[in-house]
Amino acid sequence: MHSLLKGMFFYEASSEWPSIDLYETEEDLVFEIDLPGINPDDLNIRTYEDLLVIEGIRTEDINEARIKYLCMERRVKDFRRVMNMPVSVNTMGGKAAYKHGVLTVRFPKLKGRITEVKIEKEKI
Structural domain spans, the chain: 15-108
Coil/strand/helix, residue 93: helix
Least Cα distance to 30 among 13, 15, 52 occurs for 52
Q: What is the pLDDT of residue 75?
A: 62
Per-residue model confidence as pLDDT tens digits over 66-94: 778 788 776 667 889 999 999 999 999 99
Q: How far apart are CA 76 and CA 63, in angstroms?
A: 15
Q: What is the pLDDT of residue 69?
A: 76
Whether 43 shows a pLDDT value over 70: the answer reads yes
Q: Rounded mean pLDDT of 94-117?
A: 91
With vertex at residue 34, the alpha carbon angle to CA 82 and CA 61, rounded to the nearest 5 degrees, is 105
**Distance from the Cα of residue 109 to its chain's centroid:** 15
Q: What is the pLDDT of residue 73?
A: 73
Whether 42 shows a pLDDT value over 60: the answer reads yes
Q: How would residue 114 be classed by pLDDT, with cut points 50, 70 and 90?
A: confident
Whether 13 shows a pLDDT value over 50: the answer reads no
- Assign a CATH topology to domain 15-108: Immunoglobulin-like (2.60.40)
More confident residue, 54 or 15: 54
